[in-house]
Chains A and B, each alone.
Chain A
Amino acid sequence: MKASELIEQNNQKRALLTEGNEKYYTNLLLYIRTKLTLSEQQSEEVLMEMLDHLIEGQQEGKTAKEIFGNDPKGYADEIVSQLPRENKRNSFIFMGEIAVNIIGWFLIMRSIIIPIIGGEASEKVYVISSLLLIILIMIMTAFGVKMIFGLISQSSFDDKATDKKMMFKAGLYGAGGFLIIAIISFFVKEVGPSFTLPWQISFGIGSLLLLVSWLIKKSRI
């Protein structure tokens, strides 16, 4: 059974849990799923086993605390420490998919902005600065994902953590990241070799890349 099918089943089965058990289990689930380096397949399999166990235990009147113990974070850490890592090939395909997706959006955004700004100058692509910008956006995205997943993971078992606080931190990061990208793209504008890329072609290539990333996603899950 594929990870995507397990996730789908997990979503349906979680509805069978009582309120207290659901909260306990969902915290475990978030904590384990946000550890990005772990094998997705193995993580989903053990999460499904634990959910099945909890549902059966619940029918006998047991609570999640009785089954998995009083220290959910300690327990989750034990599970995480035993889970195998995602293999390199899968991680590479996943990162490739995201990279293609980002470049696709980048080209489409460009094709929207050019007709608005107008002028032939804006159709020029400076190879070095464009590459720099794309790499920067990718790095920012990677850090952003890592940070947001880290936030979710940290707050999983922290009763005091509120969604508002988390959203504020994530928003701050987004704004900061955007500012850095804007400043850098302003300074490194016109250096090195360039060529003209009309917005229509930019739009076409961008759409194609989005299609490719969608196809990779389809084949991956």
Chain B
Amino acid sequence: MTIRSQLLKGILDGCVLAVIEKEPVYGYELSKKLQKVGLEDVSEGTIYPVLLRLQKNKLILGEIRPSESGPNRKYYSLTSAGKVTLETISLEWNQLSVPINALLSKGDETIES
């Protein structure tokens, strides 16, 4: 496993919740959207264990209904608990990312100098 995918694993739940918050999506759509924002390392299949876990924890709700293109798809939407969790994850991420950015970018400078 690359370092990037290891880092991603911890925060993937948050990314999936964030995509679902914008509008209900089905699995294939979700993986497309994650790739579109630049998370190309996420192997497409990875989302299914994540979706199952989020459903089990009642953070999202899956519902099978007809899609625009015709066939039935399982669409996921956020539950109220999911919204709360997403807010918490965003908050925690911000608290972590600022100091880590500062620290790791500084590290680069030391090597360069």
Contact = CB atoms under 8 A, between A and B. Distances in A.
Interface stretch (B23-31, B82-90, B91-99, B101-109): B23-31
Provide the main secondary structure of the chain B interface: helix
Interface residues of B, number: 20
A76 to B, nearest CB: 10
A218 B31 CA distance: 38
B27 A78 contact: no
Contacts, number: 55
B80 interface: no
A48 B31 CA distance: 16
A48 B43 CA distance: 18
A52 interface: yes
B52 A67 contact: no
Contacts of A52: 26-28, 71, 73
Interface residues of A, number: 23
A78 B64 contact: no
Nearest to B56: A84
Interface of A: 1, 42, 45-46, 48-50, 52-53, 56-57, 62, 66-69, 75, 78-79, 81-84
Interface of B: 26-28, 31, 43-46, 48-49, 51-53, 56, 62, 64, 71-74
